[in-house]
Amino acid sequence: ACPHNYPHQAVIGPTCVWQDLLSRSFLPEPFISTTSLASQCGFSMKLDQLGNVMIFASLHNCFAQNVVTDTGSRIMTLVFFTPEEKVMTVAKAQNSGYGIVNTPSRLVVRSPKTTPETYTQSVAGVPMTVLKMSAIFEQKWLATQIDVTAACPMLEGSVYVTPNTVTWYLPWHIDPLISSDQFKLLEVYMGIDGQRLNATEMAARQYSMSANDMYIIVEIPVGAVGGYFKSQVQDGQYFIYYTIEPMLELLWIEEAANEDTRYKVFLPITTPLQYQPPQVTDVPPQIIGGCDHQNFYVLVKYETHGFQTIIGKQILTPTLAEQYNFIDNGTHFSIVVPFSSPDTKFEAIESSSIRSRLDVVLMNQKTKNIMKEFSMSCKFHSTLIECFPNGTITALAVKLNSVPSLNPSQLTLRDPMCRPSFSDDRYAYFIFSGNSCGTTRKFLANVMLYENEISLPEETETESQPENDELKISCYYDVNSTSTVAFYTSPSKIEPRAKSGKGELQVEMRLALDNSYSTFYKLEDYPVSKYLKQPLYFEVELIAATNPSVSLELENCWATLNEDRRSHPRLNLIIDGCANPLNPYQVIFHPVWVDARVQYPSRFKRFEVQMFTFPEDDNNFDHHQLFVHCDVVICDNMNPLGGVCSGQCSSQKNKTKGQRRAVSHVNSFKHVSSGLIVMI
């Protein structure tokens, strides 16, 4: 009879099989594990889908530190059945690769599958490797025999693979392990990598397990969760295969002996190599854009390289790129195109605005195929008609895309002799007075209306011209009262000058969570913790400015160890609007586009720098924190006075490294600082 039940005991008929440690002295020194030593001592190894080595060790492996106990009996003889009897001593069995040890309550037998003492037996048509032996224990006046039997299914003959399914057949009545006719199967479990799965988990992975009169049948879809694909190249061809390690666990009882047996099988399965023809996926570049009150902003994400960029009808040459403020950071490039550029098209005009369209095409340089097309239309404020108090009237006519054959120089007022004061292939500009060029006058209730129109002379009109292709010109003058005012001037001894006015412009610096600049750290989030070389995304904004011509520029930005912006040490990040070339952590400027939050991109500046430490003392904890400060210049775009107001890094060639220039010529000068940023 077997001793008491233990967690690692399996009872097979009258046979007791144990999982325990082999008596070996504890080895504190490293050792090299061979295949035979691993099977003898309770170790196994496999690779996961990333190629990492996974090592499994029994809690009772040979090299675990154990307490030596006196068993009271010793194994003197081993009898192997191959199926012929083969007698062997314990020492010889261990030298042959077997692991055999006994304790007062356990017998442990470990064996490689390929020893001479194993043999193959067909069980319900499934080939199985069988190890059968008896261990004879001897004490004074007493000898005890314990039978040990193990049976493992072979991959060939039990597993069948189709392109879509792996099917495993395991006999549920395993003859070598059963010695009684009174057999009853109690429980069956399935698992992956030694972990049981319940019915819900199996259904989620699309596994199935069923049983018929002879087999327990497991079906696993190729590619299912729990396994993984690996690739392999042979003779210049690409193949893949699928690997998974299912587990079946059976519990049965032989009622005559009133003994139960728990039988567990791990079966690593790898499908045959499957040829995969090469597949090339071309990821096209992406284009996004936006507008402000006078420009188109276009951002192109490269993805696939090797394309030409066409703006309107022109290829983006280096000269044109410089004209359109081309910026390239390796993954994206951006351009800024004025709405009145020759490469745009006018679609419609209204009393105070022009709808302009910009077309961008990305073309494959070799095939000349169009890879991406992008078109964007926006309304831009523009004064088309002006009425002056002295009766002078000016009008601007623009050529629309819908009238490609129009020659603006041929346009006239009602009087065909009144032609444009200036014209080109897109515009015609008229200057006339209210009493000339066929201008009519009407008196209404409280105003006087002057009207004229711009059109083509009748002799130059063609069938392609649309009907009513005229631009109406209307000027209204107030006629409620008439006053005569006399005045005279006298020389002044004091030159007139304007008094200085005072106002408050608010500037704010924020730290964004990522380069989308959509979410920012709040005041309560500081101090913010970052890893070394993790990107920091800063945004500086001019808040609540009402003048659309005002813009914001970064002059100098630097980092300090504490909140005092004048403290030292100091690491310069931006000098005179340009990234400091001597800084090992280079600043990257990011363009700003119109979106739901950004109405005027010129009032924002964004830049990125990697988290760093000050080099003075890397062992000082205080040097693992920093504050970032910036000098900000507020510029008037209608009256640019040079310096950083000419554009970010406009003084690249003339700036002096490490020095700050005077800022007396700019409209306003502000300072901003970030919160505490700590390196972890």
Cα separations in angstroms, 377 against 288, 292, 296, 382, 492: 13, 12, 9, 15, 53
Burial per residue of 69-95, b for 16 or more beta-carbon CB atoms within 10 angstroms, e otherwise:
eebeeebebbebbeeeeeebebeebbe
Q: What is the pLDDT of residues 553-599, one digit of tens each?
A: 899 999 998 888 888 888 999 988 899 888 888 899 999 988 888 88
Fold entry, domain 286-381: Immunoglobulin-like (2.60.40)
Pick from 194, 188, 176: nearest CA to 217: 188
> What 3-state DSSP class applies to 347?
strand
Helical (H) or strand (E) element with 559: strand 550-560
DSSP string, 599-656: S-GGGEEEEEEE----TT-TT-GGGGEEEEEEEEEEEETTS--SGGGG-TTTTTTT--
pLDDT exceeds 70 at position 501:
no
The pLDDT value given to residue 47: 77
Higher model confidence: residue 459 or residue 466?
Answer: 459
In this prediction, residue 219 has a pLDDT band, given cuts at 50, 70 and 90, of very high
The pLDDT value given to residue 40: 75
Cβ-based neighbours of 494, under 8 Å, separated by 6 or more: none
Cα separations in angstroms, 363 against 280, 330, 366, 370, 529: 19, 19, 9, 4, 44
Q: What is the pLDDT of residues 273-299, one digit of tens each?
A: 999 898 888 788 999 999 998 999 999
In this prediction, residue 62 has a pLDDT band, given cuts at 50, 70 and 90, of confident
- How many whole angstroms separate alpha carbon 365 and alpha carbon 344? 23
Higher model confidence: residue 478 or residue 488?
Answer: 478
In this prediction, residue 70 has a pLDDT band, given cuts at 50, 70 and 90, of low
CA torsion through residues 317, 318, 321, 323, sign? negative
Helical (H) or strand (E) element with 202: helix 199-204
Helical (H) or strand (E) element with 320: helix 318-323
pLDDT exceeds 70 at position 504:
no
The pLDDT value given to residue 299: 95
Helical (H) or strand (E) element with 321: helix 318-323
Mean per-residue pLDDT, 354-381? 92
> What 3-state DSSP class applies to 163?
coil
Asked if 409 and 392 touch (Cβ cutoff 8 Å), the reply is: no
DSSP string, 349-368: E-SSEEEEEEEEEEEETTT-
DSSP string, 21-43: --------S--PPPHHHHHHHTE
Helical (H) or strand (E) element with 90: helix 90-95
Mean per-residue pLDDT, 443-452? 89
Mean per-residue pLDDT, 38-56? 78
In this prediction, residue 469 has a pLDDT band, given cuts at 50, 70 and 90, of low
Pick from 117, 80, 95, 86: nearest CA to 37: 95
Asked if 676 and 526 touch (Cβ cutoff 8 Å), the reply is: yes
pLDDT exceeds 90 at position 541:
yes
pLDDT exceeds 70 at position 640:
no
Average pLDDT value for the chain: 82
The pLDDT value given to residue 654: 44
Cα separations in angstroms, 382 against 153, 385, 396, 504: 85, 9, 10, 29
The pLDDT value given to residue 653: 46
Q: What is the pLDDT of residues 586-639, one digit of tens each?
A: 899 999 988 888 888 889 999 999 988 877 655 454 557 889 999 998 888 776
Q: What is the pLDDT of residues 136-146, one digit of tens each?
A: 888 777 888 88
Indicate the burial class of 368 (C-beta count within 10 angstroms; 0-12, 13-18, 19 or more).
Answer: exposed
pLDDT exceeds 80 at position 676:
no
Percentages (nearest 5) of helix, strand, coil residues in the chain: 5, 45, 45
pLDDT exceeds 60 at position 22:
no
Indicate the burial class of 404 (C-beta count within 10 angstroms; 0-12, 13-18, 19 or more).
Answer: exposed
> What 3-state DSSP class applies to 19?
coil
Q: What is the pLDDT of residues 647-664, one digit of tens each?
A: 767 655 444 333 334 333
Please tell me if the domain spanning 385-478 has the same topology as the one spanning 506-679. Answer: yes
For residue 605, give the amino acid letter.
K
The pLDDT value given to residue 210: 95
Q: Find out if CATH 3.40.640.10 is the number for domain 385-478.
A: no
> What number does CATH give the domain 506-679?
2.60.40.4100
pLDDT exceeds 80 at position 14:
no
Token pair in block for residue 514: 């990522």
Token pair in block for residue 106: 């356990």
Pick from 11, 270, 264, 44: nearest CA to 152: 264
Higher model confidence: residue 362 or residue 6?
Answer: 362
The pLDDT value given to residue 129: 93
In this prediction, residue 350 has a pLDDT band, given cuts at 50, 70 and 90, of confident
What is the total residue count of the chain? 680
In this prediction, residue 489 has a pLDDT band, given cuts at 50, 70 and 90, of low
The pLDDT value given to residue 256: 72
Mean per-residue pLDDT, 425-452? 90
In this prediction, residue 71 has a pLDDT band, given cuts at 50, 70 and 90, of low
pLDDT exceeds 70 at position 215:
yes
Q: Point out the least confidently predicted range of 57-61, 147-151, 442-446, 641-645.
A: 641-645
The pLDDT value given to residue 18: 36
Pick from 421, 447, 432, 435: nearest CA to 392: 432
Mean per-residue pLDDT, 3-17? 35
What are 9's strand-pairing partners? 18
- Tell how strand 528-530 and strand 677-679 pair up: parallel
pLDDT exceeds 60 at position 680:
yes
pLDDT exceeds 70 at position 132:
yes
Mean per-residue pLDDT, 59-73? 67
- How many whole angstroms separate alpha carbon 589 and alpha carbon 220? 52
Q: Enumerate the domain spans of the chain.
A: 9-153, 159-174+186-275, 286-381, 385-478, 506-679
pLDDT exceeds 60 at position 10:
no
Count Cα neighbours of 579 within 13 Å in the Cβ-side half-sphere.
Answer: 13
The pLDDT value given to residue 296: 95
The pLDDT value given to residue 203: 95
Ranges assigned E (strand) in 82-214 = 85-88, 99-102, 107-110, 119-123, 126-139, 142-153, 159-161, 165-171, 183-192, 195-196, 208-211
Torsion of CA 525, 526, 528, 529, to 10 degrees: -100
